Amino acid sequence: MVIYVVKSGDTLYSIGREFGVTVAELERFNGFRDPNRLVVGQDVLIPVEGSIHTVESGESLYSIASQYGITLDALIKANPDIAPPYTIYPNQVINVPADTAKRTISVNGYAYPNISRSVLQETLPFLTYLAIFSYSVASDGSLNSINDDELIRLAKQGGTAPIMVVTNTEPGGGFRSEITQSVLNNMATRSTLINNIVNKALQKGYMGVDVDFEYIYPNDREAYNDFLTALSERLKANDLQLSTAIAPKISATQQGTLYEAHDYAFHGKVADKVIIMTYEWGYLYGPPMAVAPYNEVQRVLSYAVSEIPSNKILMGMPNYGYDWTLPYRNGRPAEILSINKALDRAYEVGAEIQFNSRSKAPFFEYTQNGVDHIVWFENARSTASRLQLINDFSLGGASYWTVNQLYLQNWRVVDDMFNIEKVL
């Protein structure tokens, strides 16, 4: 598969003619709703063998071969016009041969119960697990109710394992430290919660449980570990899997309520899968930047694999972007955008999509009604760059937040780079 970057004057017809592919094939493969709404700098996936790579500053044939998981010799043979000493230059286009030896990975997708059924049906072939969000815990150890029966049924029909997600969120959203404090430090309440989780998972037909407790008070760290130990034992006795979602740390001593109670080494021992939430550097109330910058994700994973068995780790992947009003003002929220909405906006305002080489993420700027904006989002190139970290660190796979919006190019990239495990 080739990731082609749209240039000024391109049309789907001219792009297809260059690669010997019809417009209809490009529309279907990319999930384009309107073939006439191309944006300069936009990615178009070409369904052909192999790919092309545009050289960035500082790259070598060796680094590019490593990025794509192929041998240096294979890359040299695919580019006979590059002679010794094999010097390459920024913006040079080189051929990357297809890699037929793909790894098999697990792919998790979080979904709210209100996900469109058509989006769900298109997404399930690319998922190992469907994590349905979420059962909220109350201070007395009880769980709320959610409308998950149909999603569980459809997941199983699609060969995807449904996972029950348990959170310390309050009604209306938002993680509450006080909830976990009450539950984790009272033995009777903790036992009640574990019974409720296991019974609900068995009653509903879930294949496992994902615990997503966030903003736990730092002094509740050991109580949280004890809770996970007890829950793990009960789940294993019932042939159910345990996964945990943890904050993106770069050291064991990282400060902050989001981080301190998440004990990487312990989660690596007790959980079957560990989902690292490697996103939200660019966030709703924060300053404009990429949601999941490549360089920051790489730092987190470098630490994570020193504490957690790499094959247990699922790297978090965002399926959204943000539109910030400029100049940035503390406390003023950005606008959350689906990736398709971001592309639509770029077209509507006549923007040109740029690609940041450090964060390996797309962005564009525009002015509307005299107000400046910047949008950071995801595309095929940012997806491919970050997914390559799965190979670099020998991870178990990826986890998407969320799959409620369909961005077909993402799944094409995943499918091109990996075999997706099916456990049912």
Contact indicator for 378, 345 with CB cutoff of 8 Å:
no
Q: Which of 172, 2, 181, 190 lies closest to 78 in space, CA to CA?
A: 2
SS3 category, 345? helix
Strands (E), 239-300: 241-246, 273-276
Contact indicator for 420, 105 with CB cutoff of 8 Å:
yes
Which residues, 6+ apart, have CB-to-CB distance to 392 below 8 Å? 66, 301
Show the CA angle centred on residue 114, arms to residues 110 and 115, nearest 5°.
Answer: 55
Q: How many residues does the chain have?
A: 424
**Does the annotation mark 27 as catalytic?**
no
Task: Compute the distance between CA of residue 134 and CA of residue 200 in angstroms, rounded to an integer.
Answer: 12
Rg, Å, the chain Cα set: 22
Task: Compute the distance between CA of residue 152 and CA of residue 229 in angstroms, rounded to an integer.
Answer: 26
Residue spans of alpha helices (H) in 172-313: 177-184, 187-204, 221-237, 264-270, 294-307
What residue type is assigned to position 326 of the chain? L
Largest Cα span, the chain = 72
Quickly count: other Cβ atoms within 10 Å of residue 33's Cβ: 10
Backbone CA torsion sign across 298, 300, 306, 308: negative
Q: Which of 395, 407, 403 lies closest to 105 in space, CA to CA?
A: 395
3-state SS string over 43-78?
A: EEEECCCCEEEECCCCCCHHHHHHHHCCCHHHHHHC
Q: Where do we find the tokens 């950071």?
A: 376
Task: Compute the distance between CA of residue 406 and CA of residue 126 in angstroms, rounded to an integer.
Answer: 12
First CA to last CA across the chain, in angstroms? Answer: 28
Catalytic residue among 49, 150, 214, 307: 214
**Residues with catalytic roles:** 214
